[in-house]
Amino acid sequence: MQPDTVELDDVNADRGRRILIKGGSVLTMSGDTPSTARGDVLIDGETITAVGPDLEVADGSAMVLEAAGKIVMPGFHDTHRHCWLGLLRRALVDADFSTYHDDMHEVLAPAYTAEDIRAASELSSWGALDSGVTSMLDFMHNPRDLDYAVAAMEGHAATGLRTVVAFCAPQGWGWRGEWPELLAEIRAEHLRMGNDLITMRSGVQGYPDPAIPARVTLDADKIRHARELGLPIVADAVAGDAASRLVCELHNQGELGPDVTFIHCNSLTAAAWDAIEDSGVRVVICPTSDTHIGIGNSLPPIQEVLNRNVVAGLSVDVECTLPTDMFAQMQATYLVQRMRVFRGEAAGDSGAASTSGHAPEPMTAGQVLRLATACGADVNGFGAISGTLDPGRQADLIVLDGNSVANMPLNDPVATALLGVGVRDVETVLVGGRIRKHAGDLIGCDVAALRRRVQQSRDDVFARSGFRESTTRGFAGLVG
């Protein structure tokens, strides 16, 4: 049975309707509910009510989604993305970190209007849903006034994605400069909106540097102020020796805890990792941006996380340079970690990369999927309600085509979910029981209208900033 758009709209509107996904390879990512090569998932309203083989609904009232030859699993949780950069996808593909920072924060950020922020936020959210992401943390470091912040939240709300927006003061010039006063205003507006799918955090920059304005950098006062507002704290770009000293200092002051998340975390000292582990700080791994842009030592701290009792997730980061889907992040994580292990073996390094003194083991496909699902849900603050397919949890799940020409025959659902499927194979996406994508189509998204809006916003930002359009710049790389 392939439901038509009218029926999908009815199910999304009627929170009492049930959905039965039948006959798929179910990856629960849970220690409590077994995965199965052929099973069903029953959803009642927002909630998963049963997982197992041969489920039936006696009165026939459930919408049935046939999933034979498909993979049913929790949606992905992107733990860090700068969604206002969605208008500029691949506009800076060959940039290093310095070029990215200067172009984005000094040249392009001041050229944005609130409407550009709204268009970019909605675009990134639809793109996330299209690729199987059911929750995302948007590190929004361009809220030039309250209208910009509201526009970001409204853009996300238009899609039905479960979103955390971490607001950080802009780094560049030309904005309303009262911070953290503006953060308090944003918090009040967020509470007034009352959207359960949109949560909020306080964002800061984690690298102490004289070139970075003090208003955006991590310190004890900003942590305390965020807690006074009831906000968890997210620090981006925590990397290097100076950041390591700051992490240790904050830990010694008793300021760190599970309500703090550090992003990147490469090039950190052992003492800083001890502080992270001891305090329960969450960690965001950036497998493509560390290596592509050159952040810290360019090695994402995958092994450091595996060596310790640290909760960590994966992230996309900047769409202006990097792939926009979690499949690329998972594959990079898998390849980089295994490369480091095998490289160590070839060099006769029996345990330098491991705190135990024993050689680390190559990652398994299942470990990577857990980082992108259950672990990512914990980092985004949804670990109690999402990230696994357990009865009683929110129905945040995806259905992947494991029987396409690229994937048939479906021999190993875990390996196929990691290395076989891509965005084209994401058939169905549910967030809180609402169908946001089905049969490859986004539900409720006018793609043509969205395209017109984002292209106009992109053109306007380029014109105001004087930035050269990537459509003409890109061809230069083909010459010589």
Residue-level pLDDT at 13:
62
Residue-level pLDDT at 46:
97
Average pLDDT, rounded, for the chain:
92
**Residue 176 shares a structural domain with residue 255:** yes
Contact 146, 178 (CB under 8 A): no
Rounded mean pLDDT of 353-379? 87
Does 262 or 210 have the greater pLDDT score? 262
Is 469 within the bounds of a domain? no
**Residue 425 shares a structural domain with residue 308:** no
**Residue 183 shares a structural domain with residue 330:** yes
**Residue 208 shares a structural domain with residue 80:** yes
Contact 167, 200 (CB under 8 A): yes
Residue-level pLDDT at 268:
97
Residue-level pLDDT at 390:
98
- Token pair for 265: 């975390």
Q: What percent of the chain has pLDDT over 90?
A: 82
Total domains in the fold of the chain: 2
**Residue 335 shares a structural domain with residue 427:** no
- The boundaries of the domain holding residue 59 are 5-75+388-442
Is 15 within the bounds of a domain? yes
* pLDDT greater than 60 at residue 139: yes
Rounded mean pLDDT of 184-199? 96
**Residue 160 shares a structural domain with residue 71:** no
Residue-level pLDDT at 480:
46
Residue-level pLDDT at 172:
79
**Residue 54 shares a structural domain with residue 163:** no
**Residue 132 shares a structural domain with residue 100:** yes
Residue-level pLDDT at 175:
80
Q: In 3D, which of 428, 447, 464 has the Cα closest to residue 123?
A: 447
Strand partners, 65: 21
Residue-level pLDDT at 285:
98
Domain boundary among 372, 407, 423: 372
**Residue 397 shares a structural domain with residue 368:** no
Residue-level pLDDT at 347:
85
pLDDT-based confidence at 215, cuts 50/70/90?
Answer: confident
* pLDDT greater than 70 at residue 389: yes
Is 452 within the bounds of a domain? no
pLDDT-based confidence at 15, cuts 50/70/90?
Answer: low
Residues 6+ apart with CB under 8 A from 96: 293, 294
* pLDDT greater than 80 at residue 369: yes
Residue-level pLDDT at 469:
56
Is 383 within the bounds of a domain? no
Rounded mean pLDDT of 14-28? 89
Is 380 within the bounds of a domain? no
Domain boundary among 315, 343, 372: 372
Does the CA dihedral 456-457-459-460 come out positive or negative?
positive
User: What b-and-e string marks burial along 4-22, b requiring 16 or more CB atoms within 10 Å of the CB?
Assistant: eeeebeebbeeeebbbbbb
Domain boundary among 372, 397, 421: 372
Q: In 3D, which of 109, 124, 139, 107 has the Cα closest to residue 206?
A: 139
* pLDDT greater than 80 at residue 361: yes
Pick from 1-5, 30-34, 204-208 the range whose average pLDDT is largest: 30-34
pLDDT-based confidence at 478, cuts 50/70/90?
Answer: low
pTM of the model: 0.94
**Residue 238 shares a structural domain with residue 299:** yes
Residue-level pLDDT at 178:
86
Is 110 within the bounds of a domain? yes
**Residue 12 shares a structural domain with residue 108:** no
Write out pLDDT tens, residues 95-117: 898 889 899 999 999 999 999 99
Q: Amino acid identity of 449? A: A
Is 86 within the bounds of a domain? yes
Contact 77, 376 (CB under 8 A): yes
Rounded mean pLDDT of 316-341? 96
Residue-level pLDDT at 6:
46
* pLDDT greater than 50 at residue 280: yes
* pLDDT greater than 50 at residue 211: yes
- Token pair for 458: 């992109």
The CATH number assigned to the domain holding 129 equals 3.20.20.140
Tell me how many degrees the CA angle 39-442-57 measures, rounded to the nearest 5: 30
pLDDT-based confidence at 474, cuts 50/70/90?
Answer: low
Q: Give the CA distances from residue 17 to residues 20, 44, 208, 398, 455, in Å, rounded to whole numbers and listed in that order.
A: 10, 6, 52, 18, 38
**Residue 425 shares a structural domain with residue 437:** yes
Does 429 or 353 have the greater pLDDT score? 429
Is 470 within the bounds of a domain? no
The CATH number assigned to the domain holding 52 equals 2.30.40.10
Rounded mean pLDDT of 420-428? 96
